[in-house]
Structure 1
Amino acid sequence: MGNESKKVAVIGTGVIGNGWIIRFLANGFDVVAFDPADGAEERTSAAIDRAWESVEALGLKEGASKERLTFVSTLEEAVQGADLIQENVPERVDVKQAVLHDIDVHSKSNAIIGSSTSGIKPTDLQEKLKNPEKLVVAHPFNPVYLLPLVEIVGGEKTTQNTIDTAYKIYESAQMKPMVIDKEIEGFIADRLMEALWREALHLVNDGVATTEEVDKAITYGAGLRWAQMGPFMTFHLAGGDQGMRHMLEQFGPALKLPWTKLEAPELTDELKERVITGCENFANDRSVEELERQRNEFLVKLIDLVEDYWP
């Protein structure tokens, strides 16, 4: 998909669906959206208005316009003629299978169907499709309109051509696609985040740290490094002149020490209250909308910085 007309259909316009809409509009796509929920179109319009300043700051592509969005009243109308259909319905296998089946029936033969699932295997999502080779998992990260990573995973019946075409489409929307060759629940990024989340909950549950202290440990420690390079390159630098070779020799044995806990703690009422209270206190009367605005301003600056040093 070079400079020709690019049409995307977005099915389901919650937080993730609206994030996709904003990203595609900011990159010069024509977008058709469908969501049967009452007030969906108004919520999408408000979400676009809130986020547009951020995508403008990041840089709009030629042809970018809010006016290239059309809301329609049926799924069939939404997917007709679309080059890519992005599905964002609730994270239930039966619900997704039913919606994906309808998308498959009504979309053109060479359309790409991308599911925004955060953990369901694409082979399971293909089960009810007449044309299963059209489907990939295309898992984004919130806010989709700023964070560029998208995990692309094919199922047992997905063709290589589908994966290659999907890669090019997402890349043309200024994303950083990552193809995962082996199906696994939760894919890659969420599994890494889940491991950290489990350990964070243990630290709060055991009274070792507050939610604010855990967040500070990431914000001013690991997180600053991870914004530029991931855990492997971070530890490569920790090995001095010999890099990872020395790091593994020196610190490898420590991996056997029982520092971390693999299973999540029981989410008791007491633990939930600690986590909720901690987050609300740290928010300090700032609404979620205000926190989102501050996050977006930060991410725009950070993404520009990362591109300068680690393209």
Structure 2
Amino acid sequence: MRVAVVGTGAIGASWTLLFLRHGHRVVATDPDPSAEQRLRAWIDAHDDTPDASVRQRLAFVSDPAEAVREADFVQENGPERIEAKAEILAALDGSAGPDAILASSSSGLMPSQLQEHCPRHPERVLVGHPFNPPHLIPLVEVVPGRRTGEAAVRSALSFYTALGRRPVLVRQERPGHIANRLQAALWREAYALVGSGAVSVADIDAAIAHGPGLRWALLGPFLTQHLSGGPGGIAHILDHLGPPMQTWWDDLGDVRLTPGLVDSVVTGVRDALAGTDQAALLADRDALLGRLIAAKATTTTL
């Protein structure tokens, strides 16, 4: 399959590596004059496969219209601004073949809003939102818009599944889609707790990373609750802890990102990272992610 990657920043580069690893021919494009050099250097640094043909399947062009002209699937990774995406998608819609899927990596824009700028074939436009970095994290949110055809949805789900991803179909458009909204709910309370002085930034991170985050890496919130309920499962949990949980919900913070709160969080993160090599931290995170994902793949239930 011929895949076009439009925009080769952090997300686009990671997508590119994933597509190449699965044998696809990739034509990448980005307006930055140094983009090709940076992309190829990034691929060299992150591709640990012995397959020399990976790099040979990558081409780079400066013109987005040329990049998508013969593509079967297009992954757009432009700036997260509707004005920027409108210009990009209009050009892609005007050049890509009628059967090519146009998938945007947008982390929060509505696909119906994106379709407005693709008058030729809005039925093939949807959101294919990855989690960073896409070549490691399996989740992809597939979000159709009002005018997206069923065939395009099926094709996108099938394509991402064949890449070893775990696509989820979002049946109703929501700002931020699904997983980012779940993260935002946690961030909201985390920022509220820090802002109130209840806990430090470092201890918030420790509470998640060494507590529920370990379970959430294996199972989602509902199955985690269910297993916590013993033989009675989630029904027992909701009977036993449902009323207290409602009081916790009622007590959650109503937080605003004031300059003072932003300063507290930035300072807290800086303090938590004091003496830490951030590049090494990132490398360790990615290495552990890879081992965790590989371990999960050996099970029959997770």
Q: Same fold (TM over 0.5)?
A: yes
Q: What are the within-5 Å matches in structure 2 for residues 1-311 of structure 1?
A: 6-53=1-48, 56=49, 65-129=54-118, 130-258=120-248, 260-261=251-252, 263=254, 265-309=255-299, 310-311=301-302
Shift of the 42–220 alpha-carbon distance from structure 1 to 2, 3 Å rule, reads: same
TM-score by length of 2: 0.94
The 1-side partners of 2:37 and 2:133 are apart by 19
Shift of the 245–17 alpha-carbon distance from structure 1 to 2, 3 Å rule, reads: same
Is the deviation greater in 194-203 or in 41-50?
A: 41-50
**Which of 1 and 2 has higher RCO (CA within 8 Å, sep 6+)?**
1
- The question of whether the paired residues in 2 share the 8 Å contact of 1:27 and 1:63 is answered with no
Cα offsets for 1:106-136 (capped at 9, x unmatched): 0011000000011111111100212100111
CA RMSD of aligned residues (A): 1.7
CA shift, 1:287, in A, is 4.3
Match of 1:38, SS state, is coil
Q: Unaligned 5+ residue runs, structure 1?
A: 1-5
Shift >4 Å, 4+ stretches:
none
Match of 2:218, SS state, is coil
CA shift, 1:17, in A, is 1.0
- The question of whether the paired residues in 2 share the 8 Å contact of 1:27 and 1:64 is answered with no
TM-score by length of 1: 0.91
The 2-side partners of 1:204 and 1:36 are apart by 40
Match of 2:210, SS state, is helix
The 2-side partners of 1:292 and 1:255 are apart by 35
CA shift, 1:179, in A, is 1.0
State the AA in 2 paired with 1:49.
Answer: D
State the AA in 1 paired with 2:205.
Answer: D
Q: Unaligned 5+ residue runs, structure 2?
A: none
CA shift, 1:271, in A, is 2.2
Cα offsets for 1:260-301 (capped at 9, x unmatched): 4353x2323332232222222322344443222111111011
- The question of whether the paired residues in 1 share the 8 Å contact of 2:24 and 2:57 is answered with yes
The 2-side partners of 1:284 and 1:7 are apart by 45
The 2-side partners of 1:194 and 1:28 are apart by 36
Identity of aligned residues (%): 40
CA shift, 1:13, in A, is 1.1
Aligned length: 299
The 2-side partners of 1:50 and 1:26 are apart by 14
